[in-house]
Structure 1
């Protein structure tokens, strides 16, 4: 199967707001202490995980003929912001821990819901990128 390429080009002007046009969608990332026109990057990162889990859950439910009436995903990230602020720390600059819990509205036992969530997480690309190091290369354009 051919590899799929996903690209996003962002723009930041003189303020803190970062925008991107992704297909027909205008996305905004901002800081609450600035103009607060969008979620901050960390919130957006966690939203990406919850959104991906939700989309994959819909796919898996369709494939397995499970009537998935609804799914609420709660994602909580814990971090020490010292590194982010340029201070010395032994902690990672990013999240030290991410917790994900899902409330699944479907006719399944708790055990079946746990197994379903395991299958979903196993197929989620965002979840996989968090579990396995992904090479990120950076350069000046």
Structure 2
């Protein structure tokens, strides 16, 4: 199968609001202390994780012929904000830990639900990027 390339370009003008036009969707990231027109970047990141797990759950359920009536994901992350504020810290700048709890409404035993969630998380690209280092480069565009 060919590699898939996904690209997003963001725009920020004179305030804290960051926008991106993705297909027909205008996405907004903002700060609650600014204009509060969208979730902040960290909330958006966690939403991406939960959203990706949910989409993969639908795919896996379809493949395994499981009637998935509802699938809710609660993502809880803990961080020390000292690093992002430019203060010294032995903690990572990002999250120290992320916990995912899924509520699965399907005709499965608790053990089958655990096996299902494991299969889902192992196929989720966002989950995988968190578990395995991904090369990220940065440069100034001229």
TM-score (norm 2): 0.99
Gaps of 5+ in 2: none
Q: Which runs of 4+ in 1 moved over 2 A?
A: none
Matches of 1:123 and 1:133, distance apart in 2: 16
- 1:41 is matched with 41
- 1:32 is matched with 32
Matches of 1:8 and 1:51, distance apart in 2: 17
- 2:9 is matched with 9
Gaps of 5+ in 1: none
How many pairs are equivalent?
141
Output aligned runs, 1:10-89, within 5 Å: 10-89=10-89
TM-score (norm 1): 0.99
SS state of the match for residue 95, structure 2? coil
Q: CA offsets per residue over residues 92-133 of structure 1, 9 Å max, x none?
A: 000000000000000000000000000000000000000000
- 1:128 is matched with 128
Matches of 2:5 and 2:76, distance apart in 1: 28
Pairwise CA RMSD: 0.3
